[in-house]
Copies of this chain bind each other. A is one copy, B any other.
Amino acid sequence: MKAKKFIIKKHFEGLPKKSDLELVEEELPPLQDGDVLYEAIFLSVDPYMRLVATRLPLGSTMIGSQVAKVIESKHPAYKVGDNVVAELGWRSRTVVNPDDVSSPYGGKAKPHVLPNFGDIPLSTALGVLGMPGNTAWFGLTKLCEPKSGETLVVTGAAGAVGSLVGQIGKILGLKVIGFAGTDEKVKILKEELNFDHAFNYKTCDVTESLKIAAPHGVDIYFDNVGGTISSIIMTSMNTFGRVAVCGSISAYNADPKNLPLAPLMQPTIIFKQLKIEGFIVTRWLNIWMEGIHKNLEFMKQGKLKVKETILKGFEQMDDAFIGLFLGENIGKAVIEV
């Protein structure tokens, strides 16, 4: 059986280019005992892939998770017709022993059989009911000590994680202020996603916007972007403010040996006595389902609206990926095969 995959042809330098990746066909081997044949239904593109890919040898398949259907199985834990979420990389079909699948962060990552999703689209297993949803839930609740009435700022607010962080913040009783990169995104944040305030960081003065939107100061900052805007937002924070550092998309295309510069944060960190914590969501693998159940409950209650940008066609993966860095997606970017 034939399959398609994207391999790394050239290590990314600056903004990823289509020529850095190559779409290749391969003939899949017959299944050995223990193997499963998976067929991708939805594939995820996420900014972190930019960073992980630079550490992989040329010729490697791009890493990433997908929702896939079991087509054939010689493994007792997987039945034909099961849907799984799995770290299979950018592959349209995969033959693998599921016990051997590894996580891009190290360690094993056995494909996870999904329960019946009913009316909920399977793509959400890559978004609100998957890694980005748990990133939002755990990052906000475990690291930021949110207390009703406090003020939360989110950057990358219209992205896969940011759009959920802001809505969860509202559910927890916070005042929520979002920064995003287009007027269209700002409109959606305010009109559809219940943000109290939203601003286009490309056209507003961040300090002045926060004076108006957060006259009593910012208590929590959920940082998806890093860089100068983060230094500025921190100067608007209250004493004992908390910062969760989730993403740094402003630096993902930079040379890691020669990172861009930003205004010093230490004077602000000291005088506001800020607590800043960086995290990778897999630190909460042992309580993973807590996040999934919480976000599912909020969805069912109509309190958490899910935005997705779905591109059709496996061959579009590179475009969808590059689009992340051009700010093209609203909510979770997903490829439907």
Q: How many angstroms between the C-alpha atoms of A271 and B250 in the bound complex?
A: 15
Stretch with Cβ within 8 A of B (4 or more), from A109-117, A253-261, A321-329: A253-261
Q: What is the distance, in angstroms, from A104's C-beta to the closest C-beta of chain B?
A: 12
Tally chain A residues at the interface, Cβ within 8 Å: 38
Chain B residue numbers with a CB within 8 Å of A267 are 51, 226, 248, 251-252, 256, 259
Pick 5 A–B contacts, CB within 8 A, sort by A: A246-B270, A248-B264, A260-B264, A262-B262, A266-B278
Within 8 A of B (CB), among A218-274: 223, 226-227, 230-231, 245-248, 250-252, 254, 256, 259-274
Nearest B residue to A48 via CB reads: B270
Within 8 A of B (CB), among A49-86: 51
Quick check: is A280 within 8 A (CB to CB) of the other chain? Answer: yes
Q: Which of A245, A248, A264 has the most CB of B within 10 A?
A: A264
Quick check: is A283 within 8 A (CB to CB) of the other chain? Answer: yes
**Residue contact A277 to B278, C-beta cutoff 8 Å:** no
Q: How many angstroms between the C-alpha atoms of A223 and B254 in the bound complex?
A: 26
**Residue contact A278 to B283, C-beta cutoff 8 Å:** no
Given A261-B261, A273-B283, A283-B273, also A227-B278 (CB < 8 A): no
Q: What 7 pairs across the A-B complex have the smallest Cβ distances?
A: A226-B266, A269-B278, A261-B261, A248-B266, A270-B278, A259-B263, A276-B276
Chain B residue numbers with a CB within 8 Å of A298 are none
**Residue contact B263 to A261, C-beta cutoff 8 Å:** yes
A residues neighboring B (CB under 8 Å): 51, 223, 226-227, 230-231, 245-248, 250-252, 254, 256, 259-280, 283
**Residue contact B266 to A230, C-beta cutoff 8 Å:** yes
**Residue contact B263 to A265, C-beta cutoff 8 Å:** no
Chain B residue numbers with a CB within 8 Å of A275 are 275-278
Nearest B residue to A263 via CB reads: B259
Q: How many angstroms between the C-alpha atoms of A283 and B51 in the bound complex?
A: 39
**Residue contact A274 to B277, C-beta cutoff 8 Å:** yes
Nearest B residue to A230 via CB reads: B266
Chain B residue numbers with a CB within 8 Å of A278 are 266, 268-275
Chain B residue numbers with a CB within 8 Å of A223 are 266
Q: How many angstroms between the C-alpha atoms of A113 and B256 in the bound complex?
A: 54
Q: How many angstroms between the C-alpha atoms of A110 and B155 in the bound complex?
A: 44
**Residue contact B270 to A280, C-beta cutoff 8 Å:** yes
Q: How many angstroms between the C-alpha atoms of A328 and B264 in the bound complex?
A: 24
Contact residue among B250, B252, B262, B270 (Cβ-Cβ distance under 8 Å from A279): B270
**Residue contact A245 to B261, C-beta cutoff 8 Å:** no
Contact residue among B227, B268, B270 (Cβ-Cβ distance under 8 Å from A264): B227
Q: What is the distance, in angstroms, from A27's C-beta to the closest C-beta of chain B?
A: 37
Q: How many angstroms between the C-alpha atoms of A334 and B203 in the bound complex?
A: 50
Q: Which of A261, A267, A273, A275 has the most CB of B within 10 A?
A: A267
Q: What is the distance, in angstroms, from A154's C-beta to the closest C-beta of chain B?
A: 15
Q: How many angstroms between the C-alpha atoms of A265 and B259 in the bound complex?
A: 9
